A and B are shown apart, each in its own frame.
Chain A
Amino acid sequence: MSSLDFSTKIGSRRFSNPIFTASGCASSGQELSQFFPISEIGAVVTKSIMTKPRTGRATPRMAETPSGMLNSIGLQGPGIDAFLENDIPWLLANSAKVIVSIAGETVDEYGVLARKLRAVSGVSAVEVNISCPNVENRGQVFACHPESAVAVIESVRRNIGGELPIVAKLSPDVTNIVEIAQSVINVGVDGLALINTLLGMVIDTNTMKPKLAGKTGGLSGPAIRPVAVRAIYQVHQAFPQTPIVGMGGVSNGRDAFEMVLAGASAVSVGTATFGNPSAAMQIKDELSNLLLEKGFNDFRDAIGFAHRGV
């Protein structure tokens, strides 16, 4: 049996394998650590953290849909200070590679978060979540407009200093995702996370009202996978040099491989973890086997393979 170089790179940082958790689907790692050693996945992408503690939305926060689910959490979290005090030390003590996801209500808040992260050692990258659909004002979805997306990334870039890679998380709920990708690449992001959830709604036909307390929610799970594959394919075609962290309904090694073929340099496992706490580890093993089966000895040769000879 031949061996596989399973490592991958985002900006200047190397990861031992390309399977990450997806932000908001693994908390900060502790809860999953009883099911597998958290250090064995490529990276833990933490739940998007904000400047202050946040209560989030009322319940119901969840609605299962065919091969998917809507969530409407509303970025509940402890705030950056408690996060840096409690969660980062635990992750580093458990030898996890950490990508910190940040979210703000204003451009300045992203700057504040970046400045606080600047002082933290041991973090591998920052994911700038500019595409959470669960905000009161759609105007706050910075990734829906090139100008606001650029403003946030510039604010993070100014404040973060050094070489910490910046990954911008984009929304598929736009007319032209390549245009948004271009705008943030122009101001120097090191990678893109594709895709966040799609805005959706379920109406309970018994109560005849929206099922979720927040009315709308983010759709995730296998139902959105073809949308993710399309977005990754389009963006990789336009910017083959920009690493993409692919996500959206990946449930097994075959799904992860599909995203890699479309152009993903890493694959995040999100909703699948809800159905199976060991999903990320299983997907990592399955992807490794599939790559070898297909004759790849270096993971990086498979990235964007679907584009070859087209």
Chain B
Amino acid sequence: MSGSQKINRSAIQIQAEVLSNKKVGPYHHMVFAVDKMAASCKPGNFVAISVGGGQSSLILRRAFAIYRANDKGPMGGSIELVVAPHGQGSQWLCAQNVGEFVDIVGPLGTSFGVPSSNANTLLVGGGYGSAPLFALAEVLKNRGCRVDMVLGASTASKIYAPLEGKRSVSSLTLTTDDGSTGIHGQISEAIPRLIRENSIEVIYSCGPMGMLAAVSKIAIEFDIPHQCAVEEAMACGVGVCMTCVVPVKDDDQIKMTRTCIDGPVMDGAKIIWDRKIVMDALHP
């Protein structure tokens, strides 16, 4: 596509050694040695990983949000991912042992925009979608922002909230669909109160598309900017396959926009969340 101003020019392709692989509840926390790639990773960026080994019938890369990046460490630069082993590709990745190498392309995509002055921010994470929000919380706190966080999942074990991640957060609210921890209900039900009580000025979110749609609706009602990291199935992660698009308002038209180049972090107010509108327009 033309005018691809947003291509993440710091992306490189490397063979990265697995430094750590630990099971955390239903997820795997994995650390990879990525050398100088780490220095160019920003909160919201993702990596695309080749899965299955050389002879695999799985031919497409898998995209994973970066949980955190450390550009200085005893092993050089490293990145951390939180992986949910729910498909063949992520299961393969979670089965990789320390010392093995995987093919990683990154960092890819856009990152969360940070306010130029201190602001009251609300970070909303669904399931393991909370992962990239902790690095963002740190950046925001260092900018002098107030950071409130709300994390939701279907059940308590699926909330990803490690101890060290909570340090940058002023308040943490949990919600579960089954009431096993925190507030019993959907994450979106907890947001209006948090916006009012903490005079929220910016919302950041990451998680399943249904949750992002609900958060977008609330952000529009309260007239608050909302940056969401979307999750659409990708084949390449680098902008050439055109499969990972989301419908974005473009005057009165629909523009199918690549989430690997113009996302994953996008303006929630510009995305057309109502699938019926898109289907009626594109598949009459």
Contact = CB atoms under 8 A, between A and B. Distances in A.
Given A61-B245, A77-B1, A86-B3, A275 B59 contact: yes
Interface in A253-280: 271-278
Interface in B237-274: 238-247, 253-256, 261
Contacts of A202: none
Contacts of B233: 59-60, 62
Contact of A274 (B11, B57, B60): B60
B7 A30 contact: yes
A64 B105 contact: no
Interface string B76-116: 00000000000000000000000000010100000000000
Contact of B9 (A34, A60, A213, A214): A34
A274 B239 contact: no
Interface stretch (B121-129, B212-220, B276-284): B276-284
Nearest to A87: B2
B243 A61 contact: yes
A274 B237 CA distance: 8
Contacts of B235: 62, 64, 69, 71, 274
Given A32-B238, A59-B232, A271 B59 contact: yes
Interface in A45-92: 47, 55-62, 64, 66-69, 71, 73-74, 76-78, 82-83, 85-87
The 6 tightest CB contacts between A and B, nearest first, are A86-B2, A62-B243, A31-B239, A274-B236, A67-B57, A274-B235
17 contacts: A34-B11, A34-B12, A35-B11, A56-B256, A58-B282, A59-B232, A78-B1, A78-B2, A82-B2, A213-B282, A214-B283, A221-B59, A271-B59, A274-B60, A274-B235, A275-B59, A278-B13
Interface of B: 1-4, 7, 9, 11-13, 50, 57-61, 103, 105, 232-236, 238-247, 253-256, 261, 275, 278-279, 281-283
Interface of A: 24-28, 30-32, 34-35, 47, 55-62, 64, 66-69, 71, 73-74, 76-78, 82-83, 85-87, 213-214, 221-222, 251, 271-278
